[in-house]
Structure 1
Amino acid sequence: MDIFKGQSIAENVSSSKGFFHLTKSAIVTFILLFAYTVYKSLRLTCIRFYLIPPTMFRDTIKKGVNSSTGKISTKEIGIKKSSFRRRLLLATNSPLSYSTLPLNTNDDTDNSQSKYFNLKVIPNDRKNKESKDSFLMNIKPINVDDANRKRIFGFFHPHAYANGGGERVLWEAVMGTLTENDKNICVIYTFAVDNKMSVGSLLKNVNKSFGINFDNNLNKRICIIHLNDKLKWMLDPKSWKFATLIGQAIGSCWIMFTAWNQLVPDVWIDTQGWPFLYFWIWACLDLPIVSYVHYPLVSSDMLMTVKGIKWIYWWIMSKLYQFNEMFVNITLCNSTWTKENLLKIWNSLDQSALNVKILYPPCTLPRQDNIESVNDLPIDKVITLRDPIMVYLAQFRPEKRHGLLLNHFAKYVKSTNVKPYKLVLIGSTRTQQDSLYVDTLKKRVNELNLNNYVSFELNAPTALVEEYLNRAEIGLNCMWKEHFGISVVEYELHGMLPICHASAGPLADIVVPYDVKLNKVKDTTNIVTVSNEEKSGFFFKDESDPDFKSTAIVQTYPQLHEVLLQVTALSPDEKKRIRTNALLVAREKFGNDTFCKEWQHVLREIWSVETSRRELRGKVEALY
């Protein structure tokens, strides 16, 4: 029997198309429903696995409390170590003692030993009946709206032991978190610099490098989770000869999962820049995420400078970057340039839905023993008569463009009508490649006959850097599109006159005009249109700039040697006025107090998100 008898060909085709359309819609609907079911199941499974301990967990912990060693049975913990450690941290008055690093460094310290990762109840939590009862009472779950609920903020910063600007942001953020609320606990996920590193040596280095001192009441609410040092190579760009970002992305995800096995926090804070984790954090655990961005992983400038396969590769990475950003609750940028470039990369996202803010990093040098901080001095004690010295404070790397500075400094020396200033290059050499770079610079100094005018200070101690910043009159920054420019802020805070390349952070955020009538930073970034009374520094452009020909305002800025001649010819009163403006700008915008205040505002905002999300979970999941 012909079921299509009496129908035209057109009718048959139309029916087929309709059937195909319905089938396609059904398939898409099925796939979406299946994906949603998998996602909900994955999240529920992960939350229960990582956050909720076994039913008899109190009995297991009680055995440890009543034992002479405090050890908790590894067999009874099984694969639920993260959930057990959460209960211990939330119950104790000293989360520090539950770190997976040794508390102090001794001759026989080896932080890779498994004993530091095993769980046990510390002596203070089991020293007498009162402490035991209190501890066992506090390991119980607590209602979401209970005012006594403690908060675990997890800082993912695998190189927390380093001494760079990113680490300064980390530890100032930790300090701000601890002082914001005495219920706050800070967990830092980090590798160790070597197998001797302990909690004590780490915090001692923080104090030495950044002048941040956690007293006993604060440091006991810090917990260090030691990441497996055997996985360090996964984040090292040298380990990936091809597709470096993809390799690091996979590596960072693997390291994150190992971190979860030790402890899962309530809020995830990324202060180093590992954005490919964000989707998994959201999908698996539904944790609120704060991301502090020091520089974009992929920028629009980067896409403009590559072609062919490289462009395709970077474009794909930019889309993955964009995708992961959708799951961040608060994105903090260190400068206007960083924020603008992130928004360019994320241009296809709903801009109104993105919570992107600028939070300038803390920029003051650490307080030295018996030396009063420049932040505490009256203005007239900072703006003092200076030696005829120019300082360039920067790591010795090609992108800092020391060679450009030397070439223009030589032109300045030949052209000036007075005794030339001295130039001091201060910076660190981290690798052999950096040392070779310094050798080429010294060779160039010799070729330009500048040996009497240029000196190098390699890996200078903080006290010597401080001495130069208090003596020198001019501070230089030659990098093209410096994302922020923390050294420029240090110049300003020390009463120096800054000369910078006209781009990115220095132009948009740091060397901005000061309104002397209103006594506040002026709301503009175009220094060229500012009166001499409001200037806080000078800018230059150079023909070697990658965007030199495409910059519309390039003719507005002189070359570096011309600026050097102009600035050194200023009268003492003119220099004093500009230096004072620069100091006032820095104190208003970049002090540690400013960072701490803004950071604590972010904490309150993200904790509100955490509370709202927790309330939407199941009854049991919300408690844990």
Structure 2
Amino acid sequence: CAMASLWMLLVCANAAAALLVCLYLWLIAWPRWKRETRARLKVADDATVVAFFHPFCASGGGGERVLWKMVHTLAQLHREKKRSLHVVIFAQKGPKTPEQILAGAEERFGIDVSTEGGSGGGGSMKIDFVFIETELIDLLHAETWPRFTMIGQSYGSMVVAWRGFQTATPDLYFDTTGAAFTLPLGKLCGARCAAYVHYPTISTDMLAMVYSRRPSYNHDSAIASSKLASLVKCVYYFLFAGLYGVAGAFANVVFVNSSWTRDHIEALWRLSPAPTVLYPPVNVEALA
């Protein structure tokens, strides 16, 4: 009985400590960091700071096309004086300068995100980068986590996002890489959160595969052939799927790239707003 009471006391103490930390961040730290962000980046008084989590924005894949098309759309809204905006991108630190990254986006995708002309409403929208150290970015790579890869990469995304939020605390946070576990941090810092999901981190297909013990590229035959190992992995997958759903609940708006992704997100993110299918942009002019 004494041990049970001590255990309950420890649980309550840890819960209280976690609550105090969250309250401190929400009520004191984040507002101060937000003020410092606006002063450091010289954000206009009426501007909304929009942060994108896209560490590999300098790459030339389809995910990057989605990012730059979104930035281009925000720039249009800014120029038309419909909304004063200031964009910040959490990106991997590398040899390219911000100007080179923006020029590369225009060269690769034909999307103009030029920032010439200042940052005032009606002029060109200002775009800043928060460059994250390589040793933190490494936490996002699958090879860093040979076991429990999904948990490891999700933890890594939170570390990278935390570093970004400390440097630039936004009014609106947009995850465009599928890093759902960064959404609670965005909400905690007082931002409205949005997500664009290209592919769910875990899918109902993956859950069914492990449950039925079918070997696959991400389900080793040695594990599939063992009842105990399959049970452990099944518990791991279902627990992760539950946490993934909780993380998704922190999004105010959810976009997905296809009806297939929508169906899986609807099944897993039961507490989030209904996802909207927003198909990736395609440069059809290049096909003419």
Q: Does the pair score TM above 0.5?
A: yes
Aligned match of 1:185: 86
Task: Give the whole-Å Cα distance in 2 for the aligned partners of 1:32 and 1:340.
Answer: 35
Aligned match of 1:240: 145
User: What residue ranges of structure 1 are gaps of 5+ in the alignment?
Assistant: 1-26, 53-82, 93-141, 143-148, 366-372, 375-465, 467-493, 495-624
CA-CA distance at 1:280 after TM superposition:
2.3
Q: Is 1:357 matched with 2:267? A: no
CA-CA distance at 1:219 after TM superposition:
5.8
1:598-617 alpha-carbon deviations (Å, 9 max, x no partner): xxxxxxxxxxxxxxxxxxxx
CA-CA distance at 1:30 after TM superposition:
9.4
Aligned match of 1:41: 24
Contact 1:227-1:258 at 8 Å conserved across structures: yes
Q: Is 1:86 matched with 2:38? A: yes
User: What residue ranges of structure 2 are gaps of 5+ in the alignment?
Assistant: 1-9, 118-122, 214-229
1:83-110 alpha-carbon deviations (Å, 9 max, x no partner): 1x42143456xxxxxxxxxxxxxxxxxx
| Correspondence list, 1:527-538, <5 A | none
1:328-362 alpha-carbon deviations (Å, 9 max, x no partner): 1001011111111111123xx35xx6242111111
Aligned match of 1:302: 206
Aligned match of 1:268: 173
- Number of matched pairs: 252
Amino acid aligned to 1:331: V
> 4+ residue runs of structure 1 moved beyond 4 angstroms?
27-38
Distance 1:31 1:189, change over 3 A: closer
Amino acid aligned to 1:360: Y
Distance 1:91 1:298, change over 3 A: closer
Contact 1:331-1:356 at 8 Å conserved across structures: yes
1:512-533 alpha-carbon deviations (Å, 9 max, x no partner): xxxxxxxxxxxxxxxxxxxxxx
Distance 1:202 1:219, change over 3 A: farther
Amino acid aligned to 2:60: N
Match of 1:202 among 94, 101, 109: 101
SS at match of 2:111: coil
CA-CA distance at 1:157 after TM superposition:
0.1
Task: Give the whole-Å Cα distance in 2 for the aligned partners of 1:206 and 1:171.
Answer: 7
Aligned match of 2:54: 157
Aligned match of 1:259: 164
Structure whose CA Rg is larger = 1
SS at match of 1:226: strand
Task: Give the whole-Å Cα distance in 1 for the aligned partners of 2:91 and 2:148.
Answer: 25
CA-CA distance at 1:35 after TM superposition:
6.0
Task: Give the whole-Å Cα distance in 1 for the aligned partners of 2:161 and 2:14.
Answer: 29
Task: Give the whole-Å Cα distance in 1 for the aligned partners of 2:85 and 2:48.
Answer: 5
Q: Is 1:166 matched with 2:71? A: no
Match of 1:289 among 169, 193, 196: 193
Contact 2:90-2:161 at 8 Å conserved across structures: no
Distance 1:32 1:304, change over 3 A: same
Aligned match of 1:230: 135
Of 210-219 and 288-297, deviating more is 210-219
Contact 1:190-1:227 at 8 Å conserved across structures: yes
Task: Give the whole-Å Cα distance in 2 for the aligned partners of 1:39 and 1:273.
Answer: 24
Task: Give the whole-Å Cα distance in 2 for the aligned partners of 1:310 and 1:361.
Answer: 33
SS at match of 2:41: helix
SS at match of 2:279: coil
CA-CA distance at 1:225 after TM superposition:
1.7
SS at match of 2:56: coil
Aligned match of 1:344: 267
Distance 1:31 1:223, change over 3 A: closer
| Correspondence list, 1:538-577, <5 A | none
SS at match of 2:129: strand
Distance 1:239 1:91, change over 3 A: closer
SS at match of 2:38: helix
Distance 1:38 1:265, change over 3 A: closer
Q: TM-score, normalised by structure 2?
A: 0.78
Task: Give the whole-Å Cα distance in 1 for the aligned partners of 2:244 and 2:39.
Answer: 34
CA-CA distance at 1:29 after TM superposition:
9.5
Task: Give the whole-Å Cα distance in 2 for the aligned partners of 1:356 and 1:286.
Answer: 22
Task: Give the whole-Å Cα distance in 2 for the aligned partners of 1:220 and 1:43.
Answer: 28
Distance 1:199 1:29, change over 3 A: closer
Aligned match of 1:321: 244
Higher relative contact order (CA 8 A, sep 6+): 2
1:35-65 alpha-carbon deviations (Å, 9 max, x no partner): 655533331132244124xxxxxxxxxxxxx
Q: CA RMSD in A?
A: 2.7
Task: Give the whole-Å Cα distance in 2 for the aligned partners of 1:168 and 1:191.
Answer: 17
1:404-446 alpha-carbon deviations (Å, 9 max, x no partner): xxxxxxxxxxxxxxxxxxxxxxxxxxxxxxxxxxxxxxxxxxx
Contact 2:181-2:247 at 8 Å conserved across structures: yes
Task: Give the whole-Å Cα distance in 1 for the aligned partners of 2:18 and 2:90.
Answer: 31
SS at match of 2:283: coil
Distance 1:29 1:290, change over 3 A: same
Task: Give the whole-Å Cα distance in 2 for the aligned partners of 1:32 and 1:237.
Answer: 32
Task: Give the whole-Å Cα distance in 2 for the aligned partners of 1:159 and 1:88.
Answer: 24
Aligned match of 2:254: 331
Task: Give the whole-Å Cα distance in 1 for the aligned partners of 2:88 and 2:156.
Answer: 21
Contact 2:78-2:125 at 8 Å conserved across structures: no
Amino acid aligned to 1:210: F
Match of 2:126 among 184, 201, 221: 221
1:289-310 alpha-carbon deviations (Å, 9 max, x no partner): 0100001111101111114122
Contact 1:90-1:150 at 8 Å conserved across structures: no
Aligned match of 2:223: none
Amino acid aligned to 2:143: K
1:373-393 alpha-carbon deviations (Å, 9 max, x no partner): 36xxxxxxxxxxxxxxxxxxx
Match of 1:211 among 91, 94, 110: 110
Q: TM-score, normalised by structure 1?
A: 0.38
